Structure 1
Amino acid sequence: MKYYLVAGEASGDLHGANLMRALKVADPGAEFRYFGGDKMQQEGGTLVKHYADMAFMGFTEVVLNLNTILRNMKTCKQDILEYQPDALILIDFPGFNLKIAEFAKNKGIKVCYYISPKVWAWNQKRVLRIKKVVDKMFCILPFEVAFYKSWAMDIDYVGNPLLDEIARFEPNPTFQQQHQLEDKKIIALLPGSRKQEIERLLPVMLSTINNFPDYQFVIAGAPGFEPAYYAQFNGGQAVPLVFGETYDLLHHAHAAIVASGTATLETALFHVPQVVVYKGGTISIAIARMLVKIKFISLVNLIMDKKVVTELIQEDCNTELLTTTLGAILDGPARETMLLDYKALADVMGKPGASERTAELITKFLKNPIAD
Structure 2
Amino acid sequence: MTRPLLIALVAGEASGDILGSGLMQAIKVRHPDATFIGVGGPRMEAQGLASQFPMERLSVMGLVEVLGRLPELLSRRKHLIRSLIDAKPDVLIGIDAPDFTLGVELKLRQAGIKTVHYVSPSVWAWRQKRVFKIREACDLMLTLFPFEARFYLEHDVPVRFVGHPLANTIPLQADREAARQALGLAPDDVVVALMPGSRGGEVGRLGALFLDAAQRLCVMRPGIRFVLPCASPARRQQIEAMLIGRDLPLLLLDGRSHEALAACNAVLIASGTATLEALLFKRPMVVAYKVASLTFMILKRLVKSPYISLPNLLAERMLVPELIQDAATPDALAQAIAPLLDGGEVQTSGFDSIHCALRQDASAQAADAVLTLIGER
Tell me if both proteins adopt one fold, taking TM over 0.5 as the criterion. Answer: yes
- What is residue 275 of structure 1 aligned with on the other side? 286
- What is residue 25 of structure 2 aligned with on the other side? 21
- What is residue 342 of structure 1 aligned with on the other side? 351
- What is residue 197 of structure 1 aligned with on the other side? 202
Matching of residue 366 in structure 1 with residue 370 in structure 2: no
Deviation at 1:27, TM superposition (A): 1.8
Indicate how the Cα distance of structure 1 residues 45 and 368 shifts in structure 2: closer, same or farther if over 3 A, else same: closer
Deviates more, 1:8-17 or 1:42-51: 42-51
CA distance in 2, matches of 1:216, 1:135: 49
Matching of residue 154 in structure 1 with residue 158 in structure 2: yes
- 3-state secondary structure, aligned to 1:266: helix
AA at the equivalent of 1:357: Q
Indicate how the Cα distance of structure 1 residues 48 and 185 shifts in structure 2: closer, same or farther if over 3 A, else same: farther
Deviation at 1:179, TM superposition (A): 5.0
- What is residue 265 of structure 1 aligned with on the other side? 276
AA at the equivalent of 1:346: H
AA at the equivalent of 2:257: T
AA at the equivalent of 2:29: V
> TM-score with structure 2 length normalisation?
0.90
- 3-state secondary structure, aligned to 1:159: coil
- What is residue 328 of structure 2 aligned with on the other side? 317
- What is residue 81 of structure 1 aligned with on the other side? 85
**Contact 1:164–1:355, Cα closer than 8 Å, also in 2:** no
Deviation at 1:194, TM superposition (A): 1.2
**Contact 2:167–2:355, Cα closer than 8 Å, also in 1:** no
Indicate how the Cα distance of structure 1 residues 104 and 144 shifts in structure 2: closer, same or farther if over 3 A, else same: same
- Structure 1 unaligned residues grouped into runs of 5+: none
CA distance in 2, matches of 1:352, 1:261: 21
- What is residue 42 of structure 1 aligned with on the other side? 46
> Aligned pairs, how many?
366
Residue-by-residue CA offset, 1:156-178 (whole Å, 9 max, x unaligned) = 11112221332599979876566
- What is residue 213 of structure 2 aligned with on the other side? 208
- What is residue 217 of structure 1 aligned with on the other side? 226
- What is residue 109 of structure 1 aligned with on the other side? 113
Given the alignment, which residue of 46, 66, 73 partners 1:69?
Answer: 73
- What is residue 230 of structure 1 aligned with on the other side? 239
- 3-state secondary structure, aligned to 2:225: strand
- 3-state secondary structure, aligned to 1:143: helix
Deviation at 1:45, TM superposition (A): 2.5
Indicate how the Cα distance of structure 1 residues 49 and 354 shifts in structure 2: closer, same or farther if over 3 A, else same: same
**Contact 2:179–2:262, Cα closer than 8 Å, also in 1:** no
Deviation at 1:154, TM superposition (A): 3.1
Q: CA RMSD in A?
A: 2.3
- What is residue 144 of structure 2 aligned with on the other side? 140
Deviation at 1:81, TM superposition (A): 2.9
AA at the equivalent of 2:27: L
AA at the equivalent of 1:271: K
- Structure 2 unaligned residues grouped into runs of 5+: none
Indicate how the Cα distance of structure 1 residues 165 and 41 shifts in structure 2: closer, same or farther if over 3 A, else same: farther
- 3-state secondary structure, aligned to 1:49: coil
> TM-score with structure 1 length normalisation?
0.92
- 3-state secondary structure, aligned to 2:108: helix
- 3-state secondary structure, aligned to 2:20: helix
- What is residue 354 of structure 1 aligned with on the other side? 362
1:325-340 → structure 2 map (5 Å cutoff) = 325-332=336-343, 335-340=344-349
Indicate how the Cα distance of structure 1 residues 175 and 304 shifts in structure 2: closer, same or farther if over 3 A, else same: closer
AA at the equivalent of 1:65: R
- 3-state secondary structure, aligned to 1:240: strand
AA at the equivalent of 1:267: A
Deviation at 1:32, TM superposition (A): 1.1
**Contact 2:199–2:235, Cα closer than 8 Å, also in 1:** no
Deviation at 1:93, TM superposition (A): 1.1
CA distance in 1, matches of 2:137, 2:271: 29
- What is residue 193 of structure 2 aligned with on the other side? 188
Residue-by-residue CA offset, 1:287-339 (whole Å, 9 max, x unaligned) = 0001110000001100111011101100011101001001021125xx12111
Indicate how the Cα distance of structure 1 residues 367 and 43 shifts in structure 2: closer, same or farther if over 3 A, else same: same
- 3-state secondary structure, aligned to 1:33: strand
**Contact 1:21–1:43, Cα closer than 8 Å, also in 2:** yes
CA distance in 1, matches of 2:172, 2:364: 13
Matching of residue 307 in structure 1 with residue 311 in structure 2: no
Matching of residue 7 in structure 1 with residue 8 in structure 2: no
AA at the equivalent of 2:368: E
Matching of residue 164 in structure 1 with residue 168 in structure 2: yes
